Structure 1
Amino acid sequence: MVIGNGMVAKSFSQYLERENVVVFASGVSNSKLAIESEFEKEKNLLKKVLQEHEDKKIVYFSTFNLYDPVEKNSPYCLHKLDMEEFISANVPVYNIFRLGHVAGQSAQQYTILSFLYNAIKDGTSFKLWKHASRNIIDIDDISKICSYIIDNEWYLNQITNICNNKNTSIVEIVDILEGMLNKKGNYSIFEEGGCPSVDNTKIRLIATDLGINFDDSYVKDVIIKYYGRL
């Protein structure tokens, strides 16, 4: 069973007919504009799912931003932390996946990649945080890695980071987009931002076995894959 209809939910469609697993991918979509009522809506939906499927494994998607010194105390991150703690206290069998910054074909326009792409393309001015970075990972790779863990029943009742080997600075992301668009961005640089700590030890061998290579060209290749033909 899959709960949700967004990009992450759709990438786990192979579990729609699975009887022993509930993939809960119906979370708050816009982390910057989220309000308390949306957080409560997600939690209440999860409680309802647990009541109806108490004998099934729950798969929940949290956020890698909990490792970001700037973002970790945001309302969105505190909500995700609350959801993690609720699941760990009330669900007999679960997998919690903290996802890096998801890149995908149907990623919402308010994601950082889409925001930067559109700002550079349209010549819109924006603030560039010099010390900020994001951990970019392809939704296709997220689906492959998480499915491997779910199907093999690894890391049960644990939090697992699903992320790239390293972060990419916003400055570098802008540079990649400028090169792809052949256009200089209209931005002002600010001495702000944070860098999340990275630990993907649990998934490195899995990624290798699946043919996923988090090499130096990975982020550029992912950006071109989803934004190169827009």
Structure 2
Amino acid sequence: MIIGNGILANALIPYDRDDIIFFASGVSNSLETRNSEFEREITLLQTTLEKNANKKLVYFSTCSIYDSSKTQSPYVLHKLNIESKIVQDFENFAIFRIGNAIGKGGNPNTLINFLKNSIESRTKIWVHKNAGRSIIGVNDIALFINLHLNSINKKIINLSYPHQFAPIDIVFSLEKYLGRKACYEIINEGDFYDIEFEKLIYDYFENISATKYLDKTIALYI
């Protein structure tokens, strides 16, 4: 069963199973601060688990947990709270900490949608020179989980392309496929953060370079 109706939930439809709870619903805006939104996700998750105690839970968290600039953000604290106090108390679970998910449509506040909309509207972007961003296409999320879910039990997996992209490279790729120039200024801010990946992740992406993956993913969804 799939809980949710966003880009990730839609990507999971071909792999839907009666014995799995794919919890792809919840707070989608990483800048969210309203407690009511966090409580809504908690209530939905708890209600779902109470009704499906015999199933395996797949919960989607975030790689932003590793970003030192976001460790005290309400969104990150909310995700860590759910991981430790709800999901890991469930009988059978798998937690996937996701990078910036890229898909068609979806939340306008995601990194790629924000940059895309800014370029299309000629809105000025401030690009962090020293930052790194992890990305992954939603179809890769769904396919990887389908391939490996049976072997991932009571475990946390970081799921993203195993390379951090400079924001300016993401802007350049978007310019290429949108056919227009971005209005931006590079500022000396941001930092890269370490994410540890399982061998399964490296194996999944072994045949595609970072540059090709970025361009392929942007081209596919934009």
What is the TM-score of this pair, normalised by structure 1?
A: 0.88
CA distance in 2, matches of 1:90, 1:176: 42
CA distance in 1, matches of 2:11, 2:195: 24
Report the equivalent of 1:10. Answer: 10
Report the equivalent of 2:142. Answer: 143
CA distance in 2, matches of 1:48, 1:59: 15
User: Over residues 91-128 of structure 1, what are the superposed CA-to-partner deviations in whole Å (9 max), with x where a residue is unaligned?
Assistant: 01000001111111123222111111221222111221
Q: What is the DSSP-based 3-state SS (H/G/I as helix, E as strand, rest coil) of the residue aligned with 1:98?
A: strand
Q: What is the DSSP-based 3-state SS (H/G/I as helix, E as strand, rest coil) of the residue aligned with 2:97?
A: strand
* Range that drifts further, 34-43 or 56-65: 34-43
Moved over 6 A (4+): none
Q: Percent identity?
A: 34
Deviation at 1:182, TM superposition (A): 4.3
Q: What is the DSSP-based 3-state SS (H/G/I as helix, E as strand, rest coil) of the residue aligned with 1:59?
A: strand
CA RMSD, 1 decimal: 1.9
* Range that drifts further, 196-205 or 154-163: 196-205
Tell me the amino acid that sits aligned with residue 54 of structure 1.
A
CA distance in 1, matches of 2:174, 2:15: 35
CA distance in 1, matches of 2:59, 2:97: 9
Q: What is the DSSP-based 3-state SS (H/G/I as helix, E as strand, rest coil) of the residue aligned with 1:12?
A: helix
CA distance in 2, matches of 1:214, 1:48: 42
Structure 1, unaligned runs of 5 or more: none
CA distance in 2, matches of 1:136, 1:7: 14
Deviation at 1:166, TM superposition (A): 0.2
* Range that drifts further, 28-37 or 163-172: 28-37
CA distance in 2, matches of 1:206, 1:92: 29
Q: Contact 2:157–2:198 at 8 Å: present in 1 too?
A: no
Report the equivalent of 1:75. Answer: 74
CA distance in 2, matches of 1:203, 1:213: 15
> 1:223 and 2:207 equivalent?
no
CA distance in 1, matches of 2:66, 2:41: 22
Report the equivalent of 1:162. Answer: 159
What is the TM-score of this pair, normalised by structure 2?
A: 0.91
Deviation at 1:202, TM superposition (A): 3.8
Q: Contact 2:59–2:94 at 8 Å: present in 1 too?
A: yes
* Range that drifts further, 46-55 or 191-200: 191-200
> 1:204 and 2:187 equivalent?
no
Report the equivalent of 2:84. Answer: 85
Query: What pairs up with 1:80-119 in 2 under 5 angstroms?
Result: 80-119=79-118
